[in-house]
Amino acid sequence: MDPLFGVANSFHVGAYQLAINAGADLTHLSDNLSTERDALVYRAYIALGSHQARRTARGQCRPHAALGLP
């Protein structure tokens, strides 16, 4: 099963806050999955209008890493 299913599904149906919360609950992911999770969480923040968001409820959102930037 895809560990990011809940985050991705919530994001795609427009439940952005739920996507952020689900992403914050996911720990111990591989680097690739962590990057994908961070991208989805940051996109959810943008969809909510929180363009300056840097942190999730439990962890550090890394938008530069999620977007593949240095």
Distance CA 16, CA 31 (A): 23
What's the CA gap between 16 and 36, in Å, rounded? Answer: 15
15-59 confidence digits (pLDDT tens): 999 999 999 999 899 999 999 999 999 999 999 988 666 554 445
Sketch the domain layout of the chain as residue ranges. 5-66
Of residues 69 and 28, the one with the higher pLDDT is 28
For residue 2, give every residue at least 6 positions away whose Cβ sits within 8 Å of its Cβ, in sequence order, or none: 8
Output the pTM of the full model: 0.73
Q: What is the pLDDT at residue 1?
A: 83
Q: Is 53 helix (H, G, I), strand (E, B) or coil?
A: coil
Question: Do residues 23 and 7 touch, judged by C-beta distance below 8 A?
Answer: yes
In whole angstroms, give the CA distance from residue 64 to residue 5. 22
